[in-house]
């Protein structure tokens, strides 16, 4: 019987040790995950999870041990108890020293002399593990003050916020310099870049050819290769029609489906179709567009 209990005791401390070992290894994994994704949020989430798991493990371990203790003491005969007390296990010694507990039979020594309806009070010390944590917070606080307020090696919250905003601002301007995000539809110019024109052509053939024919000769939509236009033949006019569409016609607004760069690419491609005179093209529709009249039109 006694042997069985000791075995159980040992087993339980094995389980506790295993669980405690699992916690740091889980943290190591989360650190790896955090660096792979390179997201501070991910890291904090993972870290939080690890802390929660570690606390749970601790609670479970303590609970299991407590249960075992009760279980063991209930089944022990007086004789066995004495025997057991003579050889306290490694773990129970550790437990006693971490908690600075007075053995049950010596509790009289620390019993305070007041007695409230049978409730007595022991003058126990604070558990050493608790004191250890407390001293650790003091050391941490000193380190914190030195780092953040004395040597100022790390920015405070507000500074950090401003630094991040400034970094984001810098990134934004650098990106804006790389990429024109939007075009003024009144002054947008054609692109001559072969790649961009190819991009425009590809999109035209995929989406616009249904109505304008892949060569631009016109089907349900008007011929885009002749100088006759219903809405003007300048780059700006074509861009506007693509962007805004023509109300109450099959020509929809493409703004929601195309980003400005794409719209400019497609419009530029349409402009290259001028004068290609493909076979089977539809006849003139709209007014003859003369580039000279552009200035006058814009003034209106
Ligand atoms: C569902 C059919 C349809 C599709 C798809 C379509 N269009 Fe049109 N498009 C029309 C029609 C119809 C008109 C004539 C609108 C009007 O009556 O004013 C038109 C007009 C135009 C005009 C003005 C022509 C002018 O005479 O002023 C341009 C430019 C144009 N489309 C370009 C495009 C481009 C570029 C695409 C692809 C992104 C496209 N369209 C997709 C039907 C279509």
Instruction: Write out the residue range of the structural domain in which residue 199 sits.
Output: 194-291
Ligand 1 close to Cβ of residue 238 (< 6 A): yes
Among 111, 142, 175, identify where a domain stops.
111
Please check whether residue 236 lies inside any domain of the structure: yes
Q: Does residue 180 form part of some domain?
A: no
Ligand 1 lined by 212 (C-beta under 6 Å): yes
Decide if 38 is inside a domain.
yes
Mutational pocket test of ligand 1: of 219, 251, 283, 285, the residue with most ligand atoms within 8 Å of the beta carbon: 251
CA–CA separation, 50 and 56 (whole Å): 10
Which residue lies with its CA nearest to atom 40 of ligand 1? 208
pLDDT at position 110 is 85
Domain boundary among 111, 129, 152: 111
Domain contains 81? yes
CA neighbours closer than 13 Å in the CB half-sphere of residue 199: 14
Euclidean distance between CA atoms 266 and 203, whole angstroms: 7
How many domains does one find in the chain?
2
Residue 186: inside a domain: no
pLDDT in tens, the chain (300 residues): 444 444 545 555 555 555 555 544 444 444 444 445 566 788 889 999 999 999 999 999 999 999 998 888 787 766 666 666 667 788 888 888 888 877 778 888 888 888 889 888 888 888 899 999 999 999 999 999 999 999 988 888 999 999 999 999 999 888 776 665 677 888 888 988 899 999 999 999 999 999 999 999 999 999 999 999 999 999 999 999 999 999 999 999 998 888 888 999 999 999 999 988 898 888 888 888 887 654 444 544
Question: Given this model, what pLDDT does residue 145 score?
Answer: 94
Instruction: Answer yes or no: is 264 within a domain.
Output: yes
Closest atom, ligand 1, to C-alpha of 285: 26
Q: Does a structural domain hold residue 287?
A: yes
Question: Is residue 274 a part of any domain in this protein?
Answer: yes
Question: Which atom of ligand 1 lies closest to the CA of 258?
Answer: 38
Helix axes 260-272, 235-244, angle to 10 degrees: 130
Are residue 7 and residue 101 in the same domain, yes or no?
yes
Query: Domain with 220 in it: what CATH number?
Result: 1.10.760.10
Identify the bridge partners of residue 119 per DSSP, sorted by sequence position: 116
Domain boundary among 67, 94, 111: 111
Give the pTM: 0.49
What is the pLDDT, as a whole number, of residue 1?
A: 42
pLDDT value at residue 4: 46
Backbone φ, ψ for residue 112 (5° rounding): -75, 155
């Amino acid at each position: 019987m006694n042997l069985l209990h000791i075995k159980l005791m040992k087993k339980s401390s094995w389980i506790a040790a295993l669980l405690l070992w699992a916690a740091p290894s889980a943290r190591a994994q989360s650190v790896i995950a955090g660096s792979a994704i390179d997201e501070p949020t991910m890291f904090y989430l993972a870290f939080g999870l690890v802390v929660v798991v570690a606390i749970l493990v601790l609670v479970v371990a303590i609970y299991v041990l407590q249960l075992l203790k009760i279980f063991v003491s209930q089944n022990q005969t007086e004789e066995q108890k004495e025997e057991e007390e003579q050889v306290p296990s490694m773990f129970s010694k550790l437990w006693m020293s971490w908690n600075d507990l007075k053995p049950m039979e010596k509790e009289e020594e620390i019993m305070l002399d007041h007695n409230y309806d049978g409730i007595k009070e022991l003058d126990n010390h604070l558990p050493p593990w608790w004191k250890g944590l407390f001293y650790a917070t003091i050391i941490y606080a000193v380190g914190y003050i030195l780092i953040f307020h004395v040597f100022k090696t790390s920015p405070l919250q507000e500074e950090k916020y401003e630094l991040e905003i400034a970094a984001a601002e810098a990134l934004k301007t650098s990106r804006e310099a790389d990429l024109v995000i939007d075009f003024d539809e009144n002054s947008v110019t054609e692109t001559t870049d072969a790649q961009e024109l190819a991009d425009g052509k590809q999109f035209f053939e995929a989406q616009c050819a249904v109505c304008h024919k892949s060569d631009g000769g016109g089907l349900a939509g008007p011929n885009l290769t002749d100088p006759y236009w219903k809405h003007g033949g300048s780059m700006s006019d074509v861009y506007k029609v693509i962007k805004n569409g023509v109300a109450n016609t099959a020509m929809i607004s493409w703004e929601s489906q195309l980003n400005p760069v794409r719209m400019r690419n497609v419009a530029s491609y349409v402009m290259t179709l001028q004068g290609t005179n493909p076979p089977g093209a539809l006849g003139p529709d709209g007014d003859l567009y003369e580039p000279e009249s552009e200035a006058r039109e814009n003034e209106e």
